[in-house]
Amino acid sequence: MRGQNPSLYKTLVSHYKIRMKKLFMTLVFATLTQHLIAAEDLVEKKEFQLKSYKTVSGKIIKNLRIGYESYGKLNSDKSNAILVAHHFSGTSHAAGKYAQTDATPGYWDSIIGPGKALDTNKYFIISSDTLVNLSPNDPFTKTTGPASINPETGKPFGMSFPLVGVKDFVQVQKKLIDSLGIKKLYAVAGPSGGAAQSIEWAATYPDAVPRVIAVVPPGLSLPPYVISLLNLWSMPVKLDPKWNKGDYYDKEAPVQGVAESLKMITLSAVYLDWAQTFGNGPAQAGKDPLHSYDHKFAAEAALQARGEARAAMIDGNSILYTARAIQSFNVENNAKKIKAEFLFIPAQYDLIFPPEVAMNASKKLCTLGRNSEVFVLEGRGGHLDGLFKIAGASEVITKFLERPLGSKGICKN
């Protein structure tokens, strides 16, 4: 082109330069603007402490601490607080970023923020780390559990840490809420294990919980199938010889067992489609998995990579403790005490808690005279759709939160 028509070339180059200059200015402006917005909205991890806490089983945990973060502002009469509880392998980082450079925001960022379903212009969202959280080594997670130092020995508790249940998670959160002067929440919400906590809140503190949003939830108790499944999620940690009955904090950690556990959790939490993109071929071209056992299929290698990516950050004993806590979830006998209205949001292809689990729980609450409805999240992402597709329920959540309590005839299962 250049040889053919020099003047056209010059025109194009000139045009290109102007466009590049415009583009550059736009980028600079955008970056500055973004920084200005971000500086105000960056999330801060706070810490809540208890000198002593007595577990449901009657054991004492001293110097208990958990992390929490909040989004939006608590109003003057402290009536606009929504507590968000996290899932099995999650943390309290539900929305926003700690720093502008963070690759991704918190797990429910698509529904927490100004104008979003959990609208921070209206509500004060508070999200807390659980006890025995899986990520005690994550600098942004604050928890108390088997990896914590036992003040009496100066060494990590390991398996001598008291066992706790979902009810303990909730009782500690209640003390956090109390410390902020909040007598009654506007709602409690959470996905998966966070849904279990939300339902436990409604059963344990019926007067403090008028609304529950239970996403990819168990029913009113953990399905016994999932009690078994959590046994399997825990198994690789215990089978790893480096677990050493939980005594590994001054040795090599059972990272391989943790990685295998995370692989299982991942595969339980997705559906067929997740692996489809990896196809039926080998992980490496030319390395046929029928030629050597060391050769892998692409779909196994992808799962392996997912497990290993987070393994170093996750504590093996804390997997066992969190699994046991979730296994214990059961409010069937306290269901009559519940006063809250419920919005259950199961995911269509959830292999852990298929939608029928939520539907049965919702029917039971309706039978007990509570307002309860089910909205099934569409999508082929399985259990994880409770995180990644939750925006699909934004409108339903907004309406649920705005609906006057005690409205007649709300029973949609």
Give contact residues for its own copies (rule: CB under 8 A): 55-57, 159, 163-165, 221-225, 227-229, 231-232, 235-236, 239-241, 256-257, 260, 263-264, 267, 270-272, 274-280, 288-293, 296-300, 302-304, 320, 324, 327-328, 330, 332, 351, 354, 356-357
Which of 112/132 has CB closer to its own copies?
Answer: 132
In terms of CB distance, is 127 or 330 closer to its own copies? 330
Helix ranges restricted to H, 205-290: 224-239, 255-269, 272-276
Compare residues 67 and 254 and give the one whose CB is closer to its own copies. 254
Q: At its nearest, how many Å lie between its own copies and the CB of residue 228? A: 5
Q: Mind spelling out the 3-state secondary structure of the chain?
A: CCCCCHHHHHHHHHHHHHHHHHHHHHHHHHHHHHHHHHHHHCCCCEEEEEEEEECCCCCEEEEEEEEEEEECCCCCCCCCEEEEECCCCCCCCCCCCCCCCCCCCCCCCCCEECCCCEECCCCEEEEECCCCCCCCCCCCCCCCCCCCEECCCCEECHHHCCCCCHHHHHHHHHHHHHHCCCCCCCEEEEECHHHHHHHHHHHHCHHHCCEEEEECCCCCECCHHHHHHHHHHHHHHHHCHHHHHHCCCCCCCCHHHHHHHHHHHHHHHCCHHHHHCCCCCECCCCCCCCCCCCCCEHHHHHHHHHHHHHHCCCCHHHHHHHHHHHHCCECHHHHHHCCCEEEEECECCCCCCCHHHHHHHHHHHHHCCCCEEECCECCCCHHHHHHHCHHHHHHHHHHHHHCCCCCCCCEEC
3-state secondary structure of 335: helix
Q: Whose Cβ is closer to its own copies: residue 112's or residue 365's?
A: 365
**Catalytic site residue from 192, 198, 234, 362:** 192
Least separation in angstroms between residue 403's CB and its own copies is 31
Active site residue 350: yes
- Strands 81-85 and 187-191 turn out to be parallel
Report, in this order, helix, strand and coil percent for the chain, each rounded to 5: 40, 15, 40
Q: What are phi and psi of 82, to 5 degrees?
A: -115, 120
**For residues 63 and 304, which CB has a smaller minimum distance to its own copies in the complex?**
304
By beta-carbon proximity to its own copies, the closer residue of 206 and 223 is 223
From 128, 350, 362, 385, the catalytic residue: 350
Quick one: 100 or 231, whose CB is closer to its own copies? 231
Residues 245 and 320: beta-carbon distance below 8 Å:
no
CB of 230 to its own copies, least distance (A): 8
Q: Which of 138, 362, 383, 385 is catalytic?
A: 383
- For residue 75, the minimal CB distance to its own copies (Å) is 37
Catalytic annotation on 192? yes
At closest approach, how far in Å is the CB of 229 from its own copies? 6
Find the shortest distance in angstroms from Cβ 343 to its own copies.
22
**Minimum distance of its own copies from residue 238's CB (angstroms):** 9
Nearest approach, Cβ of 263 to its own copies (angstroms)? 6
* Residue among 226 and 397 whose Cβ is closer to its own copies: 226
Provide the annotated active-site residues. 192, 350, 383
